[in-house]
C-alpha cells in the first residue's frame, strides 16, 4: 500500500531528517511494503539556493525560503525517476512533492508530518525570519497539497488540530499515529538492573539527548540538578548531542558528545539505559523522539506537556509538568518518586512495558490498518494508558490485563 517514501533529502539515509524516513522505510519493508525511498542529493541544489537568494535580495524581497519555491521544487521533482511516482507516495514534508505533481504522474499522495508549516509562522518562529511573501506562498502550497492528499497523518494531536484549524482540512481526513523510537534493541535484549538507590547510594541520573540544547531545555535541567543537590540528593546530568563549551564545564554535567546511532548503536543504548529518567523540557517541540528512545530503552521520562511532548510522556511511566513549572517543583517530584523504592520500581516497570510499543513496526502496522480500513481499532496512545498484553502473554514483566499505574508527577508531590 506504500509504494514510496519521500523527504527533502535521501529518504533512505539514516541522516535524513533525524533518521525518521529511514527507520519508517525499513519497518515498512519488513511488513511487506515496497516503500522505495526517494533519493535527493541536496548538495546539488546549493548553487541554485545561492542564486535564488541573491535574486530575491536584489529585488528587495529578502532572503530565505528557497525550499518552498518553484526554483527548488521543479528540479527536485524532476530528479525523481518516473516509476517512483506510481502508487501511493508517503511524504514526511509539507511541500515536497507537490500534490498536483503526484496526481499528474498517476500517483496518490499521503502525508506524515510532525507539524504544519503554518504553525511555525508565529512570533519567535518563522514569522520573524522568513519574508512575508514567502510565508504566504508556502502556506498556500501547504493547503493545496493537503487538499490533494489522500490522508494527512500527524505524529501528535496538537499538529492534527493545526492541520484542521490552520490549513482547512476536514477532520475526517486527519489521523494521529505515534511514530517509533529511532532505536533497535538487540535480539534477546534484557533490560539492565540499576543497583542502589538513586540520589543516595549513587547519583540520580537525568538524561538529555538533543542537538538543539537550548530549546530542548538543557539549562533548565541543570537548574533541576542544582535544586536536587539542595534537597540533599546527589544528581548528575548526562548529555548526548550538542552542548556549548561553557555548559560542558558545569559541575554535575557529564557530556558524552555526539553519538552516531547508526555506527555506534550499542553505545547509544548504553547511554540511555544508564539514566534514571530521560528529560525533555522544551518550551516548543513538534514531537520529541528522544522521549520515545528513552522509553524504548525502558527508562521513565519527564517533560513539559507542550505540543508533541504531551503525547510522548505516559502518565504511568513519566512526569508530566505544565510549561512554566519551576526547577524546584520538578526536583521535588523527582526526589519524592525516586526516594521511594516501590515507586522507582513501578516507574521502571511501566517504562519497560512501553518499550515494545514505541517501535516503527507498530507505527507502520497502524498505518497499514488506517489505509486498509479507514480507522485504527486500538492505536497506541501514551497520553491515555498502556494497552494490555494479549493472549495471556507478558510484556517486559507486566502480566496481561495488569497495566502498571504509577502516579504522574502532579500526584507524586506531597
pLDDT number for residue 408: 53
Is beta strand 253-257 parallel, antiparallel or unpaired with respect to 235-241? parallel
Ordered by start, the domain boundaries in the chain are 4-176, 204-355+404-412
User: pLDDT truncated to tens, each residue of the chain (414 aa)?
Assistant: 999 999 999 999 999 998 999 999 999 999 999 999 999 999 999 999 999 999 999 999 999 999 999 999 999 999 999 999 999 999 999 999 999 999 999 999 999 999 999 999 988 889 888 999 999 999 999 999 999 999 999 999 999 999 999 999 999 999 999 999 999 999 999 999 888 899 999 999 999 999 999 999 999 999 999 999 999 999 999 999 999 999 998 999 999 999 988 788 999 999 999 999 999 999 899 998 999 999 999 999 999 999 999 999 999 999 999 999 999 999 999 999 999 999 999 999 999 999 999 999 999 999 999 999 999 999 999 988 655 433 322 222 222 222 333 335 434 433
- Looking up cell 550538542 gives 242
Pick the CATH number of 204-355+404-412 from 3.30.200.20, 3.30.1490.100, 1.10.3720.10, 3.40.50.2000: 3.40.50.2000
Q: Return all residues near 135 (Cβ < 8 A) that are at least 6 apart.
A: 65, 121, 126, 127
Residue pair 182/19 in contact (Cβ under 8 Å)? The answer is: yes
Q: Which residues contact 86 (CB under 8 A, 6 or more apart)?
A: 3, 105, 106, 107
CA distance 157 to 147: 20
pLDDT value at residue 204: 97
In eight-state DSSP terms, residue 198 is B
- Say how far apart CA 367 and CA 28 lie, in whole Å: 9
pTM: 0.91
Amino acid at each position: 500500500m506504500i509504494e514510496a517514501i519521500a523527504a527533502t533529502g535521501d529518504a533512505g539515509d539514516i541522516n535524513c531528517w533525524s533518521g525518521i524516513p529511514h527507520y519508517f522505510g525499513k519497518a515498512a519493508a519488513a511488513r511487506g511494503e515496497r516503500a522505495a525511498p526517494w533519493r535527493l542529493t541536496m548538495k546539488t541544489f546549493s548553487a541554485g539556493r545561492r542564486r535564488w537568494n541573491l535574486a530575491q535580495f536584489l529585488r528587495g524581497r529578502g532572503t530565505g525560503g528557497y525550499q518552498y519555491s518553484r526554483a527548488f521544487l521543479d528540479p527536485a521533482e524532476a530528479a525523481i525517476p518516473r516509476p517512483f511516482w506510481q502508487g501511493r507516495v508517503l511524504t514526511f514534508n509539507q511541500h515536497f512533492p507537490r500534490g498536483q505533481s503526484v496526481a499528474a504522474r498517476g500517483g496518490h499522495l499521503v502525508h506524515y508530518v510532525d507539524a504544519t508549516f503554518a504553525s511555525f509562522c508565529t512570533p519567535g518562529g518563522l514569522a520573524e525570519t522568513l519574508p512575508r511573501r514567502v510565508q504566504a506562498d508556502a502556506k498556500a502550497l501547504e493547503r493545496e497539497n493537503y487538499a490533494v492528499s489522500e490522508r494527512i497523518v500527524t505524529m501528535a494531536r496538537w499538529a492534527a488540530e493545526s492541520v484542521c484549524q490552520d490549513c482547512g482540512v476536514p477532520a475526517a481526513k486527519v489521523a494521529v499515529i505515534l511514530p517509533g523510537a529511532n532505536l533497535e534493541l538487540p535480539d534477546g535484549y534484557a533490560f539492565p538492573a540499576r543497583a542502589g538507590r538513586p540520589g543516595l547510594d549513587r547519583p540520580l541520573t537525568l538524561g538529555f539527548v538533543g542537538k538543539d540544547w537550548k530549546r530542548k531545555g538543557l539549562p533548565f535541567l541543570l537548574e533541576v540538578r542544582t535544586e536536587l543537590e539542595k534537597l540533599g540528593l546527589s544528581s548528575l546530568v548526562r548529555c548526548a548531542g550538542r552542548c556549548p563549551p561553557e555548559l560542558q564545564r558545569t559541575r554535575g554535567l557529564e557530556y558524552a558528545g555526539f553519538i552516531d546511532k547508526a555506527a555506534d548503536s550499542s553505545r547509544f543504548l548504553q547511554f540511555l539505559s544508564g539514566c534514571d529518567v530521560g528529560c525533555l523540557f522544551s518550551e516548543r517541540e513538534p514531537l520529541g523522539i528522544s522521549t520515545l528512545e528513552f522509553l524504548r530503552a525502558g527508562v521513565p521520562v519527564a517533560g513539559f506537556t507542550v505540543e508533541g511532548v504531551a503525547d510522548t510522556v505516559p502518565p504511568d511511566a513519566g512526569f508530566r509538568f505544565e510549561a512554566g513549572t519551576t526547577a524546584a517543583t520538578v526536583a521535588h517530584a523527582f526526589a519524592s518518586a525516586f526516594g521511594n523504592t516501590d515507586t522507582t520500581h513501578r516507574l521502571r516497570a511501566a517504562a519497560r512495558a512501553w518499550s515494545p510499543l514505541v517501535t516503527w513496526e507498530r507505527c507502520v502496522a497502524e498505518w497499514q490498518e488506517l489505509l486498509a480500513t479507514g480507522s485504527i481499532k486500538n492505536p497506541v496512545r501514551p497520553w491515555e494508558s498502556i494497552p494490555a498484553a494479549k493472549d495471556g502473554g507478558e510484556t517486559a514483566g507486566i502480566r496481561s490485563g495488569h497495566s502498571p499505574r504509577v502516579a504522574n508527577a502532579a500526584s507524586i508531590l506531597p
